[in-house]
Amino acid sequence: MKKSKKLIATMLMLTMAASMLAGCGKKGGEEVKTDTQVATEAPAEEPMKEEVVTLKWVTVGGSQPSNYEAWQTHVNEMLEEKIGVNIDVEVVSWGDWDSRRSVIVNGGEYFDILFTDSGKYTSEVAVGAFMDITELLPKVAPELYKYIPEDYWKAVSVNNKIYSVPTYKDSSATWYLVWDKAVAEKNGVDYKNIHSFKDLEPALEKIKDGEGTAPFIMDKTGVKLILNVYDQLGPCLGVRYDDNSRTVVNPLEQEDILSQLDVVHSMYKKGLINGDAPNAEQIPDYRMVFTAQGWSGAAKTVWGPNMGGIDAEAIQLGDTMVNNGTVRGSLNAIYSGTKYPEKCLEFLQLINTDSKIRDAFFYGLEGENFNYTADGKVEKINNEWPMAGYTQGTFFQISQLADVEFNQWDEVKQLNEQAKPSVLLGFTLDTANIETELANCRSVYEKYEGELFTGAKEPRELVKKISEELKAAGYDKVVEETQKQINEAFQ
């Protein structure tokens, strides 16, 4: 009996050992699984691949590009690899923009990102169209948050909350006199030392005598640029950018504005300004001298080429300033109902920090619209890319054109850094209690602005008339409410 028990135990041990040997073995010190094990074990799960989401971006521009589908395929390959995103861009023409924008915002149509600007930004925020990204922004897009200057985030804030990403470009305002150098030099004009309308008048007289025609051609917007020194909160409503008392005034009544309007009126009477200016809707491509907002390098890259390739030069008028309006000229806001808020911010970060992505939106399709040179610059193949570059992202990641001797964006960035901030930077007027009065005041202002800013009427008498009509339209209530809000905001 004892032998039987020992025999049984020995057989069990042998059976277990054989089973273990059959189940696995060693090869080079590694465990090797048998075919039976491989067949019976469940396959290991592969890591989950991140879902690629498509973002709808509605923006304004010339038109939808003719090669959009090929461009979109190329761009989406890059975006998908970098952040798991595809982009679907709807480019709305400028003529259709206001109506299309209204339908999108007020009709509840789905989008992920919408271009907006100072004209309707605050009203779109008020109706809840845009997402408050104040908390999400530094967490999801820290590189973007750090890249754009702090003052610009302040400028797009409404009630201390951020609802959009500002386009970091010529976000300050600098005005220039742009000259046809050949005409100026032919008529003995020392154009490089003219920095005011007072100095401009005698120079225009020389050109008119030499060329036999009015040299200072303008449309009905005239010289509104002179109001740039006031942070304008409404029609005839503003605070001078450097007034630390933040006193609300009618800029038209201030001597610094009236004295310049006097000079423009004198120019008009002398025939230095085109007679049809008060009602002119358009201006010709070529002008001997004109005012423009931008940077001096634009004379070589934009203004001169747009006037038939003439040699143009731009001379600065006044200080460079930054205020809410200059920053809010180009914004991209995320829909409050978007399914992908984080991806929207990741995309906006990428287009503002990645040069290749930025070039693709600014220049078009590589190989069809442009090519890169060996040193990383850009050669345009054609000028058929219609998207508006200023709506998309920063200028400072755009590659330099190969046929330009300098990088114009360096100057733009320097102007931004030197800009003088308005004392009202970050302040947004709540117009809820004065909507009717503001509308009435706007009607008064628009009735006379063409005649006033083109010099067609004697300015001091006209401003008195405007002021009287403004008072009847409820202007005093507007000023009182505006001053009250400013005092509360900066107390």
Domains of the chain, by residue range, sit at 53-170+330-397, 218-282+433-490
pLDDT, tens digit, for every residue of 184-210?
999 999 999 999 999 999 999 999 999
Residue, of 95 and 249, whose pLDDT is higher: 249
Rounding to the nearest 10 degrees, give the CA dihedral for residues 66, 67, 71, 73: 110
pLDDT score recorded for residue 48:
55
Q: Could you identify the residue written with the tokens 């399914």?
A: 339
Q: Are 332 and 377 in contact (CB under 8 A)?
A: no
Q: What is the mean pLDDT of residues 218-229?
A: 94
Q: Does the structure show a pLDDT above 80 at 255?
A: yes
State the chain's maximal CA–CA distance in angstroms. Answer: 138
Q: What percentage of the chain reaches a pLDDT higher than 70? A: 90
Model confidence at 49, pLDDT cuts 50, 70, 90, reads low
Q: What is the mean pLDDT of residues 373-385?
A: 94
Residue 239 CA to residue 255 CA, distance in Å, equals: 14
How distant, in Å, are the alpha carbons of 139, 306, 354, 358 from that of 79? 20, 34, 11, 11
Q: Strands (DSSP E) along 127-171, which ranges?
A: 157-158, 161-162, 165-166
Residue 152 CA to residue 168 CA, distance in Å, equals: 8
pLDDT score recorded for residue 356:
97
pLDDT score recorded for residue 485:
97
How distant, in Å, are the alpha carbons of 41, 259, 367 from that of 26? 19, 98, 57
Q: Tell me which residue of 352, 420, 426 sits closest to 172, measured CA to CA.
A: 420
DSSP annotation string for 53-93? EEEEEEEEES---TTHHHHHHHHHHHHHHHHSEEEEEEEEE
Residue 316 CA to residue 302 CA, distance in Å, equals: 16
The two beta strands, 53-61 and 113-116, are parallel
Residue 226 CA to residue 217 CA, distance in Å, equals: 17
Question: What pTM did the predictor assign?
Answer: 0.78
3-state helix vs strand vs coil in the chain, percent to 5: 45, 20, 35
How distant, in Å, are the alpha carbons of 13, 283, 288, 291 from that of 177? 102, 16, 10, 5
Q: Could you identify the residue written with the tokens 């009126």?
A: 265
Q: Are 380 and 281 in contact (CB under 8 A)?
A: no
Residue 491 CA to residue 245 CA, distance in Å, equals: 11
pLDDT score recorded for residue 5:
39
With 0-12 / 13-18 / 19 or more C-beta atoms within 10 angstroms meaning exposed / middle / buried, residue 169 is buried
Q: Are 236 and 252 in contact (CB under 8 A)?
A: yes
Q: Does the structure show a pLDDT above 50 at 31?
A: no
What mean pLDDT, rounded, does the chain reach? 90
pLDDT, tens digit, for every residue of 398-434?
999 998 888 888 999 999 999 999 999 989 999 999 9
Q: Does the structure show a pLDDT above 60 at 222?
A: yes
Which amino acid, 235?
P
**What 3-state class would DSSP assign to 157?**
strand
How distant, in Å, are the alpha carbons of 160, 237, 251, 381, 465 from that of 224? 30, 14, 11, 38, 19
The alpha carbons of the chain give a radius of gyration, in whole angstroms, of 32
pLDDT score recorded for residue 45:
52
Query: Tell me: domain 53-170+330-397, CATH 3.40.50.1110, correct?
Result: no
369: enclosing H helix or E strand: none
